[in-house]
């Protein structure tokens, strides 16, 4: 089924009045005040449908939906639908009976908002028709426009600075995990006695050092220590009465003796 076979409803108004209008006296337009507005010739429902590029204004019975008259609209604004010069609620439409006979009648809305919706529905439909026509023309005659040439011209070169990339890669390659040195403390299993070991991380001078003695080792708190006692000295402060580097053994007057 072609797109022109589909009919869609674009506006529905439950109440509209139809008037017989006198012939147009001049080119000044129609005036609703000349229509005997208190005596409409017919009242019913108005529907606007669209099929393809055409719009149809249909006047129908409120209850049965029977068609009273319809006006095909090929363009808007145009001869098929005209506004009056003295009101925004009244229009003149050209109805057709399908046999080639035409007549101009007046239609009006009691509510000004209904008249506004009627007008906007026709405007929107023919805006869409105009867009579809332009799209069809562009499809038939596409405009190639200027082409973007991204190729290299003769003699043209390009430079890439990779110094920073090499520097970052070299810094990442030089990073190595630190290995355990000779001074790194190590843990040994506890002795059979069941007493807690003590971890000593600083090397201590032994009176009888063993070969390949590690810097850190464990001592059993309950075992007898074989370490040499440090030499006792009665003067824990050292010789403060003698200035360093002085050849004289006499105490300096600048020093205070305790």
Helix count (H) and strand count (E) of the chain? 2, 9
The whole-angstrom separation of Cα 39 and Cα 18 is 9
Please state the φ and ψ torsions of residue 29, each to the nearest 5 degrees: 105, 175
Nearest 10 degrees: CA dihedral of 246, 250, 253, 258?
Answer: 110
Give per-residue pLDDT as tens, 125-147: 999 999 988 888 888 776 666 66
Q: How many CB atoms lie within 10 A of CB 162?
A: 9
Q: How far apart are alpha carbons 132 and 96 in whole angstroms?
A: 27
Q: What is the DSSP string of 76-136?
A: SSBTTEEE-SS-SSEEEEEEE-SSS-EEEEEEE-SSHHHHHHHHHHHHHHHHHHHHHHHHH
Per the DSSP assignment, residues forming a β-bridge with 12 are 47
pLDDT at residue 207, as a whole number: 47
Is 121 within 8 Å of 48 (Cβ atoms)? yes
Task: Write the pLDDT tens digit of every residue in 31-74.
Answer: 999 999 999 999 999 999 999 999 999 999 999 999 999 999 99
Check if the beta carbon of residue 198 is closer than 8 Å to that of residue 188: no
Kindly report whether the global pTM for this prediction surpasses the value 0.85.
Answer: no
- Is 90 within 8 Å of 54 (Cβ atoms)? no
Q: What does the block give as tokens for 242?
A: 């003698």
Per-residue b/e over 123-157, b at no fewer than 16 CB within 10 Å? eebbeebeeeeeeeeeeeeeeeeeeeeeeeeeeee
Domains of the chain, earliest start first = 3-140 (2.30.29.30)
| ∠ Cα 201 204 207 (to 5°) | 150
Contacts of 6 (CB under 8 A, 6+ apart): 51
pLDDT digits (tens, 9 = 90+) for 189-198: 666 655 555 5
233 or 134, which is more confident = 134
Mean pLDDT of all residues in the chain? 75
Which own/partner contact pairs does 55-58 have at CB distance under 8 Å and 24+ positions apart? 55/10, 55/122, 55/125, 55/126, 56/7, 57/81, 57/93, 57/107
Give the model confidence (pLDDT) of 80-101 as tens digits. Answer: 999 999 999 999 999 998 888 9
Residues 228, 206 contacting (CB under 8 angstroms) = yes
Q: In the structure, what pLDDT confidence band is assigned to residue 29 with cuts at 50, 70 and 90?
A: confident
Question: Which of the 8 DSSP states describes residue 219?
Answer: E
């Amino acid at each position: 089924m072609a797109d022109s076979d589909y009919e869609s409803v674009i506006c529905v108004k439950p109440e509209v009045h139809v008037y017989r209008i006198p012939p147009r006296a001049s080119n000044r337009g129609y005036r609703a005040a000349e229509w005997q507005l208190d005596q409409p010739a017919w009242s019913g429902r108005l529907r606007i449908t669209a099929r393809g590029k055409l719009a149809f204004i249909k006047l129908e019975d409120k209850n049965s939906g029977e068609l009273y008259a319809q006006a095909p609209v090929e363009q808007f604004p145009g001869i098929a639908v005209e506004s009056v010069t003295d009101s925004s609620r009244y229009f003149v439409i050209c109805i057709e009976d399908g046999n080639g006979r035409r007549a101009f009648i007046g239609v009006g809305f009691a509510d000004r908002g209904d008249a506004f919706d009627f007008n906007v529905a026709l405007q929107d439909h023919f805006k869409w028709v105009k867009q579809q026509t332009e799209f069809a023309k562009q499809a038939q005659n596409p405009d190639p426009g200027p082409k973007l040439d991204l190729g290299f011209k003769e003699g043209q070169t390009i430079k890439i600075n990779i110094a920073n990339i090499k520097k970052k890669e070299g810094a990442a390659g030089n990073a190595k995990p630190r290995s355990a040195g000779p001074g790194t403390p190590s843990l040994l299993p506890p002795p059979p006695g069941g007493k807690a070991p003590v971890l000593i991380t600083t090397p201590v001078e032994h009176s009888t050092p063993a070969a390949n003695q590690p810097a850190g080792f464990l001592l059993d708190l309950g075992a007898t220590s074989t370490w040499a006692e440090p030499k006792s000295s009665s003067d824990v402060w050292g010789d403060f009465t003698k200035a360093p580097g002085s050849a004289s053994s006499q105490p300096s007057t600048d020093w205070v003796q305790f």
